[in-house]
Each structure stands twice: as C-alpha cells, then as structure tokens.
Amino acid sequence: MSTSQLDSAWQTATVDQPAHVAIIMDGNGRWAEQRGLPRTEGHRRGVDSIRKVVKAAIELDIRCLTIFSFSSENWSRPVSEITDLMNLIKRFIRRDLADLHKHGVCIRVIGERTNVEPEIVTLIEEAEKLTRTNDGLRLTVAFNYGSRAEIASAARRLAERVAAGEITPADVTVDTFAGELHTAGLPELDLLVRTSGELRLSNFLLWQSAYAELVFLDVYWPDFDKTSLEQAITQYRNRDRRFGGLTANPNS
C-alpha cells in the first residue's frame, strides 16, 4: 500500500469515533514523588502506560495516535533525568519495535533531530523504515518537538519557496501551510487529551488543535489505561463539534 493510500485510509473520523487522538503524557514525576519513589521510576512506569495505550488504541480502532514524549523545552531538566529519559527511549524502541511491527503499527517520529544523540536518531530511522508500509495504527511520537518551532519552520520553508519562484504569495494557503508541518499526511486532530490535571497545551500541536476537542483528565500518566482512554472518548462523543458553524459538521 502506498503512502498516499495509507493517508487516505486514515481520514475516517465520525461523531462517535475520533480518527486522530493525541495525548500529552504528563505527571510521571509527581506520580513517583507521591509514592516516595525516584522520578526515574515514574518515567519507567510511564513507558508501561505507553504500551497499554497503544494496545488500547488498536482495540478501540483508533486510526492515529500521537503522543508527546519529549519536548524541545525538556532539555532544561537536570542532566541525570535527561540521561534516564534517553535510555528509556532507547530501550523502548529496542524492546517494543518488533512487537509493534507485528501488530501492523506504522511509526513516525516528529520533531527536530539536530543535537539528538546519533544512536537515538539511528533507532528512530530504523523504526520508521521497518514500519513505513504498515496499515494498522499510525503511531506518531513527538520527540524533541515544539509547536512554535514547527510553525516557524513551516513559514520559513514557504518563504524560501516564494523567494525561489516556486510558488507565489497567493499560493500560501491553510492547506499549503499544513503541508509543511511535521504532521503533514495525518488526518485532522479530533481529540487531544492531557493527563495530570494540568490545563494547558504546553507548546504541543498548536496549529493542529484548532478544532480538536480538548479533554483534561485528573490522572497521572503512569495510571492512564484503556479505561482512561475510553473516558476521554466518551467526553468526545458528548461534544457538539460545530467547527465554527451553528450545527455539527455533516461530514463527521
């Protein structure tokens, strides 16, 4: 199946079923601190939750799942914590890639890869190459990602194309702009979930969240499971998605 065919297959949102769900996985550190455990243990349990939620997304027939694993601002954390996080990421890819591939998961990693450890970049590229043509769940991992930087980069690329005479300023539309974002090819974001009770987007998918339903759950990420995901989807189903109009989108 070609990439364009895969992209077409993922455009399947309905009123009752979001096609594209994104999650800000927050609260690992606080979960650990409340239990008198090191923050590293919270992150380790958080990786277990990723496994549970990927499995749940497949069972619930969610076509696209995007998770915020590491932001471009997270580099300001203590060096020891960053080292632990990078080791967890490497172990997750090495341990889980074969199983994800077996279940037809297509993996894509978005975010900047400059200044990222070469070993991690190699693992990311291997995961993407191995699973590129899989037609199951599309798992997008935002790593070293920041939405403002993503938007600025998209604007810069379009400006460069205009300067080179490839396109005119009139060609810069919502669609052409979206085509320059890291998420190009993914369906519109339907549902964005944040755990831990925090009520902000933290520089995640700002453009893509324009008409997404936002759900904030008072549960730390290590405790997030299939039931939690179902609760978020229930809230999504109870929303009246009007997309700026007076009635629900007839195409939903």
SS3 state at 214: strand
**Other residues' Cβ atoms within 10 Å of the Cβ of residue 176:** 13
Over its C-alpha atoms, the chain yields an Rg (Å, rounded) of 18
Concerning whether 74 is annotated as a catalytic residue, the answer is: yes
Concerning whether 26 is annotated as a catalytic residue, the answer is: yes
Exposed, middle or buried: residue 75 (CB in 10 Å: 0-12, 13-18, 19+)? exposed
CA-nearest of 59, 57, 76 to 67 is 57
Catalytic residue among 7, 16, 26, 190: 26
Token digits of residue 228: 């939690």
Catalytic residue among 74, 87, 135, 203: 74
For the chain, what is the total number of helices (H) and then of strands (E)?
Answer: 8, 6
* 94 sits in which H/E element: helix 79-102
Residues noted as catalytic: 26, 74
